[in-house]
Chain A
């Protein structure tokens, strides 16, 4: 059993799934913080309304953001070539994300330190940028990953990226950016409907319903783009050696317009995932209308899960295809860490992740209850 668990093939597939879980964990936790940030100017007009919106996430955004940081660390540890290539390749896009995300912690903490209206409105814009910009850019990055990214390796495995920032901003990738933006706005609205009271929650319900519909339609449209071959597609043509050394130069890959559909043709049951990726947001849209906040939030989570999982399943076993040298694409079987590192990291994850989930659940239970204008007036300095 241990042998099976710790053989290189199993470890690689487990870490491919954990990569997905990390991205999904980030999207369902920090995702609603970003959604609230992006919604802030639209759901809350007065200072007290904005405080209601901000304080729904005030005590928890910091823990949620660790999913982002952990994502960086875990990709570094388990998929070093992906870490090296994607962040240096998407250099300026990544800088934009960092710039936006640096504003967030400061904005949360500093906004309440002064009464001045200009001061507060400036920080509200910082929160808006900190929510909307990453939500958009992450989708653009996924769009580019689907299309293929222009890169190659030297024989020393030194990665070189041949594109530009503007190359990343192609129409198809921007379309994927809209998918992720609408998805996270839906999620932020679902959280606000669940956690806030009064006009903030009412406005969130209206906008959330529209965003959920948009997410469902845009995601379905993405499926059409893949089917038309506009979102790329690649296929490994050489024999896959699952326990070979992590060297991406030893295989052949070709561009294939149907490449991203192959797994679904081969295993039709997998189609359940993209179907749920459309149905769940529709369910969320209905939930907003029916004022079933708990259900809406769960549907929103399920939708995000399925949308992100669809991308992973479509590309498997490829993680990041190269458009200029397809053979150099990063794949599950040749871009991972060594067996020892994957094993060590799996042990660390099995110990710590349940612990993290347990105390996070405890913290949410302590903070249970709605945030309203009245509750904020009573909270004094224990609120933003």
Chain B
């Protein structure tokens, strides 16, 4: 039995490295697209200021990209390093999208990003534009494949447990690719990345406009950022992740935890705007409800019920008992592969095998579990409700604030008035918001997935490597120090580059008609 401390440390390390990696990824996603858009305007209009913009934002993109690449290395290998049993158990399914991500996405972005920086003099304007778009395409493909992998952890479709190899094996790879949870996550996550890019450009441009520096470049960037930002922030909200939350038991549990919804309500369910959920009392104190809203968000309908936590726990208990049959059959198959009765019994119940494994936290052989332990295991399928409840609200709050900032910015752009100073300050202050939203969003999705590492299939506490505690302490300390130092250097270099500003400060007056063209370009 793996020690609980080892499991906690492994989770801590994964959270640290993944959340740190995700500080850089969304900005890469957003900025790469914005660079490609700006360069498209340059190639179409031939106005060099747009090339200067691509080069300037490209410098900041590069500083960020380097850390995204560096911290991505850790991600590719730490499943094997820290989650060896997970890697064995699901590598047949989970490994494939990761490998395809390398083949299809990483090669594309990494091969062409060198030319993006080094190719200005060696390529024609059009060829360089193609290179920039290929970098953007590569980063977005990478998001697609990693979210197909992640989506499978949330909704393990197209696969089955094979008792001969003691692992999950793929039965329908097309189903893995077109997993609805994965698709919802992809759209939601790349949109969030675009918001990061937009806010970054908006904020830095606002800073220049407040200081009256590089105003031409800043104004144009501000236009692009506000148009791109409103589109992507609305997309984040409208195409929110929740659309995938009606599909599986664990996703439903996550939804119930986000809402701190203990009892099933008649459809359409109300939305809990505020409250203090309590795990020990199993209720939400001081709840303020808004009728109908939750049903609409969660099911996109007014007649479908959203199950509450009590109902889901009851269901989990049934699945644990069913899973025990599978576990028993599997133990028989381990001794005798030819036992046809056991195989038939296993095939009938194997989808609930993971539920029986939940009991391993309380007893070595789940078949010997008593009723109390089964009830305890069923309740262990409930994640930390208060943590999910509040972080979800924080994410939503950030998203709505961002929509407001982008809407106001766009409003002033459309009216061709100078954005007022308070709005510019607001754009500057709003810069951390999408990162906060992205990090807590990751937390809601992955912490809300607990106790599962693969929903319904493998509990997190069984999935680690058999490492010593000192090993983990060394690497956690090591990553913290290296990442910490690099973060300080990165932020300093960013600030230095922003303070220095674009290399060519083209302070040409805007000719008549140019504004409309910019606006069109921004909308495109």
Contact = CB atoms under 8 A, between A and B. Distances in A.
A366 B77 contact: no
Interface stretch (A4-12, A107-115, A208-216, A285-293): A107-115
Contacts of B88: 80-81, 84, 157-159
Interface string B75-102: 0111111101101101111111011111
A76 B467 contact: no
Of listed A69, A70, A108, residue having the most chain B CB within 10 A: A69
A338 B478 contact: no
Contacts of A196: none
Contacts of B467: 88, 91
Given A70-B99, A158-B88, A344-B96, A58 B118 contact: yes
The range of chain B's interface size is 35 or more
B380 to A, nearest CB: 20
B115 A76 contact: no
B79 A76 contact: yes
B486 interface: yes
A70 B107 contact: yes
A102 interface: yes
A80 B486 contact: no
B164 interface: yes
Interface string A131-156: 00000000000000000000000011
Given A108-B66, A109-B62, A363-B111, A95 B103 contact: no
A86 B91 CA distance: 14
B167 A157 contact: yes
Given A338-B170, A340-B171, A341-B92, A68 B73 contact: yes
Contacts, number: 249
Interface string B95-131: 1101111111011101111110111111100000000
A86 B80 contact: yes
A348 B100 contact: yes
A359 B499 CA distance: 37
A65 B66 CA distance: 12
Interface stretch (A41-49, A179-187, A229-237, A376-384): A376-384
A366 B486 contact: no
A77 B72 CA distance: 18
Interface string B257-275: 0000000000000000000
B495 to A, nearest CB: 12
Contact of B80 (A69, A87, A104, A109): A87
Interface in A286-315: none
B122 A367 contact: yes
B103 A87 contact: no
A247 B123 CA distance: 52
B366 to A, nearest CB: 13
A61 to B, nearest CB: 8
Given A70-B106, A77-B91, A83-B80, A62 B170 contact: no
B71 interface: yes
B165 A245 contact: yes
A105 interface: yes
B165 A247 contact: yes
A191 B91 CA distance: 37
A325 B73 CA distance: 32
Given A102-B70, A345-B96, A159 B91 contact: no
A379 B122 CA distance: 10
A63 B478 contact: no
B13 to A, nearest CB: 11
B119 A366 contact: yes
Contact of A63 (B74, B107, B170, B497): B107
B111 A85 contact: no
Contacts of B77: 72, 87, 94, 98
Given A66-B110, A83-B79, A91-B471, 13 more contacts: A65-B110, A70-B103, A77-B92, A106-B70, A110-B489, A157-B166, A157-B167, A158-B85, A159-B84, A337-B95, A345-B100, A382-B121, A383-B118
The 5 closest A-B pairs by CB, nearest first: A80-B91, A87-B80, A77-B95, A59-B114, A76-B95
12 contacts: A66-B102, A73-B101, A80-B92, A84-B88, A88-B81, A98-B73, A114-B496, A155-B334, A245-B164, A360-B107, A367-B114, A381-B503
Interface of A: 58-63, 65-66, 68-70, 72-78, 80-81, 83-88, 91-92, 94-95, 98-99, 101-106, 108-110, 113-114, 155-161, 245-247, 337-338, 340-341, 344-345, 348-349, 352-353, 356, 359-360, 363, 366-367, 379, 381-383
